[in-house]
Amino acid sequence: MKIAYFPGCSAESTARDMHASTIAVAKSLGIDLIEPEGWSCCGATAAHQTNPVLAAALPTANLLLAQQMKMDMVASCAACFNRLKSANHKVQSDSTMRKQVAEAVGQDYDGAVKVRHFLEVLFEDVGLDTIKAAIKRSLNGLKVACYYGCLMVRPHEVMNFDDPENPTSLDRLVEAMGGEALDWPHKVECCGGGLAMSRTDVVIKLTDGILQMAQNAGADCITVSCPMCQVNLDLRQKDIKKQMGRDYGMPIIYITQLLGLCLGNAPNDLGLDKLIVPPTNVIATMTQNG
Amino acid sequence: MTLQIKKGTSKKGLLAEIEKRTGVNLSACFQCKKCSSGCAVGDLVESPPSEIMRRLHLGAGDELLESDLIWTCASCETCSSRCPMGIDVAAVMDALRVLCLERSKAKVTPKVFNRAFLNSVKRHGRTYEMGMVTAYKFGTGAFMGDVDKFPMMLKKGKLSLLPSSGADKKTVKRIFKNLRQKKEGE
Ligand code: SF4
Ligand code: SF4
């Protein structure tokens, strides 16, 4: 199957590992991801905090590329997924906005390109059974806290993804890979997202709460699907150690990295070396016998 | 808590302006405070979202734009998704931020960051962290924060020394130009 794939800016910097593992998993499962030529930034949080028309116009420029390709648009980054889908919603539900966006972009757009998260493609197009059958190595009972964060699930009317308060897609995938998806209360709490640089104080406070809860639940690692969540939770463990003396040593690993490992992809093709807290315990659990 | 409501510079308060910009009916709010109890930063700020809503009802003016929540809010949308009246509280936060950009010169860090971010997008069509971080640090004077992490981030390829060249810059520039970016993003 062919789908237009929107990597997002972080694919070229902080989330090279998310990008690499998405590509590797897609390849293993026969999904043909095609990068639209000339894709540009979705605007992220900065755009919608600054100008609502800009926030819809930047994703629209990209959605028009997918429309030309006559394909659905898939994103692995939860933030891009959110911005692309919100833009569709805006131009569809607000005719004034549609006009303003058309004026800004220089072309009218009807909001018709189907925007999907890579997880949805895994579930709907590939299917859990096929994935199970393709698995070469089990997670061997690895205890995984599945962390969804905000952007994938909220607002539900727009994202229409899973259950906004207790989503289970990551959990089901982890179970299919032979891991134990933990029941824990911080699945959809906020990590501070786009405040990563401008309000580190807030991010440290929020990530500390999430890490603590995962640790209390007995997690070996936290799995994520958003580059902002990944960086905040991974990078801030150092600051938390320095400021509060708590040393979590908790690997924060993309779901596509876990899946890639199970599908037999080489760790280097999955960007595992890019994680700040090394996933040593994950690999150890996967390689131990029975 | 005690609420101090002063009339601001705008005669009728901000209520009508916010309703116009967001299409949200603020009078539906009955102060159940569900938005505040779920707010990611609710216990870090002086004015949680339900208080902002109440102050809008009571006719607060531009002084509301100085509320700490506006630039502490992480746009997590929990407030909007839990409000029993279906009020898009997060959209109210966005509208307050945009008003703040239009009316106040205060150099709040997220404001400076957003500008650095969007300038980078305007220039390269995609975000270019190194350029953006430099602009942000010059804008805020917060040079030291996180520099300890740069060597590791560079080594891991989590930061690029050069901007990406793949974007259709013409289209992005056109969007920014057409929106004239008002005062922002200069
Ligand atoms: S949740 Fe909705 S109704 Fe309740 S206080 Fe907040 S805005 Fe008002
Ligand atoms: S969007 Fe902002 S105001 Fe609303 S719950 Fe999240 S942090 Fe609080």
| Min Cα separation A15/chain B (Å) | 7
Is the pLDDT confidence value at B9 over 60?
no
Torsional class of B157: left (φ above 0), alpha (ψ -120 to 50), beta (otherwise)? left
Chain A residue numbers touching B152 (CB-CB < 8 A): 276
Is the pLDDT confidence value at B186 over 50?
no
Chain B residue numbers touching A192 (CB-CB < 8 A): 40, 74
Ligand 2 center from residue A70 Cα (angstroms): 36
The chain A residue lying nearest B133, using CA atoms, is A197
Architecture of domain A137-287: 3-Layer(aba) Sandwich (3.40)
Residue B43: which domain range? Answer: 15-102
To test the pocket of ligand 2, the residue of B75, B80, B83, B92 to mutate (highest count of ligand atoms within 8 Å of its CB) is: B75
| Average pLDDT score over chain B | 82
Is the pLDDT confidence value at A175 over 70?
yes
Domain ranges of chain A: 2-118, 137-287
The string of DSSP codes covering A94-161 is: -HHHHHHHHHHHTS---S-SPEEEHHHIIIIII-HHHHHHH--S--TT-EEEE--TTTTTSSHHHH--
B93 lines ligand 2 (CB under 6 A): yes
Q: How many domains does chain B have?
A: 2
B33 shares a domain with B58: yes
Residue B152 is predicted with a pLDDT of 78
Residue nearest to atom 7 of ligand 1 (CA): B29
Q: How far is B71 from A183, CA to CA, in rounded Å? A: 33
Over residues A272-288, the mean pLDDT reads 94
Residue B136 lies in a domain: yes
Looking at per-residue confidence, does B177 or B154 come out higher? B177
Distance of CA A171 to the CA centre of its chain: 14
Looking at per-residue confidence, does A230 or B155 come out higher? A230
Over residues B121-136, the mean pLDDT reads 75
Residue nearest to atom 4 of ligand 1 (CA): B32
Confidence of residue B144 (pLDDT cuts 50, 70, 90): low
Specify the range with the lowest mean pLDDT, choosing from A248-252, A257-261, B129-133, B165-169.
B129-133
B98 shares a domain with B28: yes
CATH of domain A2-118: 1.20.1050.140
Chain B residue numbers touching A47 (CB-CB < 8 A): 118, 121
Counting ligands in written order, the one closest to the CA of A189 is 2
> Last residue of a domain, which of B102, B119, B141?
B102
Confidence of residue B5 (pLDDT cuts 50, 70, 90): low
B85 shares a domain with B150: no
Is the pLDDT confidence value at A289 over 80?
no
Q: Does A48 touch chain B (CB under 8 A)?
A: yes
Residues β-bridged to residue A2: A32
Over residues A159-163, the mean pLDDT reads 88
Confidence of residue B141 (pLDDT cuts 50, 70, 90): low
Residue B184 is predicted with a pLDDT of 46
Residue nearest to atom 6 of ligand 1 (CA): B35
Ligand 2 center from residue B104 Cα (angstroms): 21
B96 shares a domain with B118: no
Q: How far is A143 from A73, CA to CA, in rounded Å? A: 32
- Burial class, B11, CB count within 10 angstroms (exposed 0-12 / middle 13-18 / buried 19+): exposed
SS3 state of residue A32: strand
| Average pLDDT score over chain A | 94
B125 shares a domain with B93: no
Name every residue whose Cβ is closer than 8 Å to that of residue A71 and which is 6 or more positions away in sequence.
Answer: A2, A3, A4, A34
B144 shares a domain with B87: no
B122 shares a domain with B70: no
User: Per-residue pLDDT tens for B57-86?
Assistant: 999 999 999 999 999 999 999 999 999 999
Nearest to residue A11, comparing CAs of B11, B68, B130, B158? B158
B168 shares a domain with B152: yes
Please give the DSSP secondary-structure letter assigned to residue A36. P
- Burial class, B43, CB count within 10 angstroms (exposed 0-12 / middle 13-18 / buried 19+): exposed
Is the pLDDT confidence value at B181 over 60?
no
Of A16, A164, A202, nearest to B74 by CB-CB distance is: A202
Of B44, B94, B164, nearest to A49 by CB-CB distance is: B94
B93 shares a domain with B33: yes
User: Per-residue pLDDT tens for A105-123?
Assistant: 999 999 999 999 999 999 9
Over residues B98-119, the mean pLDDT reads 83
Is the pLDDT confidence value at A245 over 90?
yes
CATH number of residue B66's parent domain: 1.10.1060.10
pLDDT above 90 covers a percentage of chain A that reads 84
Chain A residue numbers touching B21 (CB-CB < 8 A): 52
Q: Are strands A180-181 and A221-224 parallel, antiparallel or unpaired?
A: unpaired
Chain B residue numbers touching A238 (CB-CB < 8 A): 149
Q: Which residue has the tokens 């505040």?
A: B36
Residue B10 lies in a domain: no
SS3 state of residue A21: helix
Name every residue whose Cβ is closer than 8 Å to that of residue B141 and which is 6 or more positions away in sequence.
Answer: none
Q: How far is A107 from B105, CA to CA, in rounded Å? A: 34
B138 shares a domain with B169: yes
Q: Which residue has the tokens 């995609």?
A: B126
Largest distance between two CA atoms of chain B = 55
> Last residue of a domain, which of B102, B117, B145?
B102
Q: How far is B118 from B106, CA to CA, in rounded Å? A: 18
| Min Cα separation B168/chain A (Å) | 4
Confidence of residue B136 (pLDDT cuts 50, 70, 90): low
Is the Cβ–Cβ distance between B17 and B8 less than 8 Å?
Answer: no
User: Per-residue pLDDT tens for A31-42?
Assistant: 999 999 999 999
What is the reported pTM? 0.89
B48 shares a domain with B31: yes
pLDDT above 90 covers a percentage of chain B that reads 47
Is the Cβ–Cβ distance between B145 and A200 less than 8 Å?
Answer: yes
Nearest to residue B179, comparing CAs of A125, A43, A73, A288? A43
> Last residue of a domain, which of B75, B102, B129?
B102
Is the pLDDT confidence value at A143 over 60?
yes
Amino acid at A204: I
Amino acid at A123: F
Chain A, residues 121-140, CB within 8 A of chain B, namely none
The chain B residue lying nearest A209, using CA atoms, is B40
Count the neighbouring beta carbons within 10 Å of the beta carbon of residue B19. 16
What are the CA-CA distances from residue B182 to residues A50, B12, B43, B185 (Å)? 10, 24, 34, 8
Residues β-bridged to residue A5: A74
Q: Does A104 touch chain B (CB under 8 A)?
A: yes
